[in-house]
Amino acid sequence: MVSRIIPVDAFDLVIFGATGDLANRKIFPGLFRRFLAGQMPDDARLIGAARTEQSREEFQAQIRAAIKEFVSPSKQDSAQIDAFISRLHYVPIDARGEAGWPELKALIRPEVINAFYFSVAPALFGDLAERLKAYGIAGDDARIVVEKPFGRDLASARALNKSLAEHFEEHQIYRIDHYLGKETVQNLMAVRFANILFEPIWNSQYIDHVQITVAETVGVGGRGSYYDKSGAMRDMVQNHLMQLLCMIAMEPPYHFDPDAVRDEKLKVIRALQPVPPQDIVRGQYLGWHREDQDTPMPGYLEDCEDPHSKTESYIAMKVHIANWRWKNTPFYLRTGKRLRARTSEIAITFKEPPHSIFDEAEGSWQPNQLVIRLQPNEGMNLKMMIKEPGPGGMRLKQVPLDMSFAQALGEEGADMPDAYERLIMDVIRGNQTLFMRGDEVEAAWAWTDPIIQGWEERGDTPRPYDSGTTGPDDALMLMHRDGRRWRHIK
């Protein structure tokens, strides 16, 4: 097969927060995989910057260990690791002071693409942006990449946007939502807009409802104190689930172009209706003593070290979009920690045919459903009614047309890039399609804020749920009272 890997142009990439968890777990291992794939030009320069005083060699040893831990054993080629490591530089830097900035400037080549990844607390975004400009390090074509959380409400997101805008133009700012880098999320656009099959029925006339599920088995563990200030609504719904919803609900953009796509997503976010309290269920996981483990796993309240915490580790909600396409088609969203299985999927349930010609279909009829699996085993499943084989009349049966991308695409599908590596390469290519625009983030907070304020005003307390289950029972009721059911989490 002809390789689809197109090397990017020469670049210098600076990662602020280079000793942090994200850098070790995702950013550098992802860059290494792109290097192995042959996408990195020979003279690409990767520069770690962080507060820690350490030498270049010590930093290289840190990244070598990260590659060992977070890159699959089949890709551990020591000659390649050496070649990758030799591109790494390190600058100890003070984001709020002056130390390290002249040294950083000396390493940056203005004639190549310059990108600066802010893998640091948002409180430092403004300081970094200011110094990159003050020291003449970032020119008019430089790109900055910022990580979530992008604010914790509309006011703080606006303040962040404003502080970045003082030094950089919108076309230079890449706000990461790593869900947009997932293969299947982009595939949603291909499925919708590169096929004629679905688009004519992609509306409330034919779609009964949509379910978006992002279930995780992990608890909040070591990041309990951070998570407790956030909760599932801020940590997952305002960004990741909202982006998935936009991909399903948006109108066809006139072109696959960053602003055309983001304009359409923005329209969806602005059309989201306020959500009444009865359409939301919040939960907190309880401790768990699994049979196969000696020690019990702590519950949410212990994990976050606040026995009175009212932060949710689970949320389920019914959302309406007030526009022509989606009037009366609810979108049910749910996400939670410590659930039965790790699974992310979007399920689109279609309506009944207007008239059944099969008497015997009564009772056995089931709606068509298109399920798009994000993880694990990315793929699609279309549930259809067919005739049950054999004699004995016209009995109907629902069967899945199941496609796993890994199987359907062979080698190519089995080696799909991780979300981060794809997004970092998009930054170097200067393609903002899969990044959030400032107005999009603000619109998402404008919808989220009143929901969270409502909980605070009412003193809303999340319902406890058992770890290893599908969440609080009340979430089942959210569906049942509408005559619908959640898909099984498995």
CB of residue 224 vs ligand BG6: minimum separation in angstroms? 11
387 annotated ligand-binding residue: no
Nearer to ligand BG6, 44 or 157 (CB): 157
Query: Hey, what long-range contacts does 316-320 have (CB within 8 A, 24 or more apart)?
Result: 316/280, 316/281, 316/471, 316/472, 316/475, 316/478, 317/237, 317/275, 317/279, 317/280, 317/281, 317/478, 318/275, 318/279, 318/280, 318/478, 318/482, 319/245, 319/272, 319/273, 319/275, 319/279, 320/272, 320/273
CB of residue 456 vs ligand BG6: minimum separation in angstroms? 21
CB of residue 347 vs ligand BG6: minimum separation in angstroms? 17
Q: Taking CB under 6 A as the criterion, which residues in 329-368 touch ligand BG6?
A: 344
Write out the two tokens for 407.
Answer: 């199987």
Nearer to ligand BG6, 208 or 235 (CB): 235
Q: Among residues 142, 127, 137, which one has the least CA distance to residue 105?
A: 137
The owner of tokens 């909980």 is: 455
51 annotated ligand-binding residue: yes
CB of residue 9 vs ligand BG6: minimum separation in angstroms? 28
178 annotated ligand-binding residue: yes
235 annotated ligand-binding residue: yes
Does 421 bind ligand BG6 (CB under 6 A)? Our answer is no
Q: Taking CB under 6 A as the criterion, which residues in 133-192 touch ligand BG6?
A: none
Nearer to ligand BG6, 235 or 442 (CB): 235
Nearer to ligand BG6, 216 or 421 (CB): 216
**Number of residue whose CB is nearest ligand BG6:** 235
Q: Among residues 463, 465, 466, 490, which one has the least CA distance to residue 289?
A: 466
Number of residues that bind ligand BG6 (CB under 6 A): 3
Selected catalytic residue, list 167, 209, 240, 308:
240
Longest CA span, the chain: 83
267 annotated ligand-binding residue: no
The owner of tokens 């939502």 is: 177
CA distance 260 to 262: 6
318 annotated ligand-binding residue: no
Q: Taking CB under 6 A as the criterion, which residues in 203-262 touch ligand BG6?
A: 216, 235
Write out the two tokens for 285.
Answer: 């996981």
Instruction: Confirm whether 240 is a catalytic residue.
Output: yes
Which positions are annotated as active-site residues?
240
Give contact residues for ligand BG6 (rule: CB under 6 A).
216, 235, 344
Binding-site residue numbers for NADP(+) are: 51, 148
Binding-site residue numbers for substrate are: 178, 182, 216, 235, 337
